[in-house]
Amino acid sequence: MRYLMTTGQNSRAADEALFAEMGAFIEEMTAAGILIATGGLEPGGVVMTSQGDEITVTDGPFVEAKEEILGFALVEVSSHEEALEVSRRFRRIVGDGSSVLHRVMGP
């Protein structure tokens, strides 16, 4: 089963130590076949709304800065608990903040 994990702003400063720790974690999860894809997201973004025949495009930001999604990871796990555990390991590295986990339905 697959989960999409998203995260907003986290407290730990993005220094060399964080990159090293995060790099090792990503490498381990990839080698284990767990991590499928991951990336950081540009703040702000673009909102596209459709109503009737009308499609409106608005430049972000469109949510409170603290609710903004700034990173994601798509993982392949064998259980819901394993998804939680992988996410716990991520949170231990990045400091204060929050992540949201969604199970990906399908394909």
Partner 1 sequence: MTPARGGGLPAQVDAVWKLESARIVAALTRMVHDVGLAEELAQDALVAALEQWPAEGVPDNPGAWLTSVAKRRAVDHLRRADRAERARTALAATPEADDVPADEDADVLRLMFLSCHPVLPTAARLALTLRLLGGLSVDEIARAFLVDAATVGRRIADAKRTLAQEGAAFAMPDREELAARLSSVLEVVYLLFNEGYAATAGHDLLRPDLCGQALRLGHRLAALAPSEPEVHGLLALMELQASRAAARTGPAGEPVPLHEQDRGRWDPVHVRRGFTAMLRARDLGARDLGGAPGPYVLQAAIAVCHAQARRAEDTDWAAIAALYDRLAAQLPTPVVALNRAVAVARARGPAEGLALVEALRDDPRLRDYHLLPGVRADLLARLGREAEARREYARAAALTRNDAERAFLDARAADLVAAPAGPTLEEVAARFLDGLAAPARRAYGQTLRRLVRGLGGTTPLAATTAADVARVLTTSWGTAAPATWNRHRAAVRSFAAWCGRPELASDLVRRSSSSVPTPPVTPDRVAALCDDPAVPVRERALWSLLHESGAPVRAVLALDVGDLDRDDRSTHDRAVTWRSRTARLLEELLAGRARGPVFLADRRPGPARTPEPADRCPDTGRARLSYERAEYLFKHSSGGATLRRLRAGR
> Binding partner 1 by CB under 8 A: which of 55, 79, 96, 105?
79
> Binding partner 1 by CB under 8 A: which of 13, 42, 48, 107?
107
Q: How far is the CB of 60 from partner 1 (least distance, A)?
A: 27
Half-sphere exposure of 95 (CA within 13 A, CB side): 10
Indicate whether 32 belongs to the interface with partner 1 (CB under 8 A).
yes
Indicate whether 102 belongs to the interface with partner 1 (CB under 8 A).
no
Cβ-in-10-Å burial (0-12, 13-18, 19+) of 48 comes to: exposed
Indicate whether 26 belongs to the interface with partner 1 (CB under 8 A).
no
Q: How far is the CB of 78 from partner 1 (least distance, A)?
A: 5
Give the footprint of partner 1 on this chain (CB under 8 A): 2, 31-33, 36-37, 74, 76, 78-82, 84-86, 92, 107
